Amino acid sequence: MAKNKLFKFNEITKMDHVLEPSVEMTLNNEIDYKGDWNSRFFKNDNPIILELGCGKGEYAVGLARKYPQQNFIAVDIKGNRIYIGAKEAQDEGLENIFFLRTKIDFIDYYFEENEVDEIWLTFSDPQPNKPNKRLTSKTFIDRYRKILKPGGIIHLKTDSDLLFESTEEQIAEHGYNCLFSSWDLYGDMEKLPKDSQDILKIKTHYEELFTKRGSQIKYCTFTVN
C-alpha cells in the first residue's frame, strides 16, 4: 500500500495539470498564478468552477466531460486520491480540468477576487465534532466570498443529515440567498431545470455507496454575495 501511494505521489509531480504548492509559498503569498488561471493554464476566458474536497475528482471530471466550454479546478489535500482523477482526465485528453493539491483552508490564497464562478462541495466530511471545520461554516464561506464573482453559486450535495441541517441553519442565520434546497434530491429532481438534472445525476464513488445503503441524498444551492 505504501509503495502504491509513493508511486501516485511521484506520478502527479510529472503531470502538467496538477499543482502542489508548498505551504511556505502559500503563506508568503508567492502564488503567481493567482488571478491568472485562465490565461496561464486554460488559455481561454471560460468560467472557472471549483470542486473543493474533490477526493478522486469524479465530480469535476464528470462536469469537465459535459461542459467543455467551462474550466474546472478540483482541490484536495490527498495526493493519492487526486492521482486517480488526474490520470483519468489525462487518459481522456480533457483540457478543461486542473487539479490543485492543498488544504481548503488556504483556498483564498490561490484565487483572486471575482475569479471563480461556482463552487461545488460534494460529500464533504460533516465534521461532527468540529462545526467550524465544515465546508459550509461561516469560516469557509467567508473565504469563498473573497474569490467568488457577485452572484457566484455554491452547491452542496451530501448524504449527511448533520451537514445539511447545519448548512440550512447557516443560510438562514447569515442571510445567504438560497436558490434551491431539498432533503430528497432524487425525489425532487423534476422540480429542477433539465440542465441542472443532468449535472446532479453525476455520481461519485461515495454517493454510489451511500445510496446502496439507503441514504437519502440532499442538495442545496445558494449565493453569498
The residues carrying an active-site annotation are 125
Helix, strand counts (H, E) of the chain: 10, 8
Q: How far apart are CA 15 and CA 190, in angstroms?
A: 40
Beta bridge partners of residue 219, listed in sequence order: 157, 182
Q: How far apart are CA 62 and CA 75, in angstroms?
A: 15
Q: Which residue has the cell 475569479?
A: 115
What the block records as the C-alpha cell of 192 is 429542477
Q: How far apart are CA 10 and CA 140, in angstroms?
A: 30
Backbone angle region of 170, left / alpha / beta, with phi > 0 → left and psi within -120 to 50 → alpha? alpha
Q: Which of 182, 204, 47 is nearest to 115 (CA)?
A: 47
